[in-house]
Structure 1
Amino acid sequence: MATFQLELVSPEKLLLSRPVEMVVIPAAEGEMGVLPGHAPMIVALRGGTIRVTEGGRDTDRLFVAGGFAEVTPERVTILADEATPVAELSKAEADRRIATAEAAYNAAAMDTPEKRDAAMATLLAMRAMREVAEAA
């Protein structure tokens, strides 16, 4: 089957760089599957799971808290705010981060709409992290 180059980069390091058959990313508008030859685009990511397919089966599952993805016919580059293999997620850590995000959102109640939106996006990403951790 045809492949394309997938690169997943977090602020800390390059997490993944190899040819893959398909990747499903948590785009802001909904789950988005990418195959070789996909139309070029740049999409915002929400908190959710990236699923990598090779050899007809899912080989990697990583949680991302947000970021952007650049899609071209030959390559997908994901710039993640934070990325963690699903197997390493902890429900207790997700709960702690939800409490922190809720406090930040409440503190932003009288702030600018942009800061409130950013705080809400963080809170939603942490809730998605807990859902993924519970399902893992």
Structure 2
Amino acid sequence: MKLNLYVLTPKRIIWDCEVKEIILSTNSGQIGVLPNHAPINTAVDMGPLRIRLLNDQWLTAVLWSGFARIVNNEIIILGNDAELGSDIDPEEAQQALEIAEANVSRAEGTKELVEAKVALRRARIRVEAVNWIPPSN
């Protein structure tokens, strides 16, 4: 059995193919989706999207919030923005994380601190995506 996965943003189609399973970050935690999953509509949180292809290879993408609909072996994710893990430069991601950590420690005022913490969370998610080691089959 397989799933049809569509990941769409306002700018482009990130993913459109058949997959074996996904692991999705939602506002209530991560969920795994296999064929014949119960129908669900859920908010998507900032976080990694793990995609298991039909050849058992795992890929990672990063979603920057959105909405997912899972029904009849079809997964449609409408995201505000997304990046494929393969498009993220590991060195640049690590450098952005270090800058974000420094910005949190020197933030002044509530607004600046909130913005710095969001940037730090995004940076951590990007580093996690490029450093993720898929499970062995």
TM, length-normalised to structure 2: 0.70
Partner residue in 2 for 1:10:
9
Give the secondary structure class of the aligned counterpart of 2:121. Answer: helix
Q: Which consecutive residues of structure 2, in runs of 5 or more, have no partner in the other structure?
A: none
**Per-residue displacement from partner, 1:101-134 (whole Å, max 9, x unpaired)?**
9869x577269xxxx5x88555423321123234
Q: Distance in 2 between matches of 1:74 and 1:102?
A: 44
Give the secondary structure class of the aligned counterpart of 2:124. Answer: helix
TM, length-normalised to structure 1: 0.71
Letter in 2 for 1:36: P
**Is 1:35–2:34 an aligned residue pair?**
yes
1:72-111 equivalences under 5 Å are 72-94=71-93, 95-96=95-96, 99=99, 109=110
Partner residue in 2 for 1:25:
24
Partner residue in 1 for 2:63:
64
Q: How big is the alpha-carbon RMSD for the aligned residues of Structure 1 and Structure 2?
A: 3.2
Cα 1:131–1:18, aligned 2, differ >3 Å: closer, same or farther? Answer: closer
Q: Percent identity?
A: 20
Q: How far did residue 9 of structure 1 move?
A: 0.6
8 Å CA contact retained: 1:43, 1:70: yes
8 Å CA contact retained: 1:47, 1:129: no
Partner residue in 2 for 1:53:
52
Q: Distance in 2 between matches of 1:43 and 1:101?
A: 30
Cα 1:42–1:125, aligned 2, differ >3 Å: closer, same or farther? Answer: farther
State the aligned residue count: 131
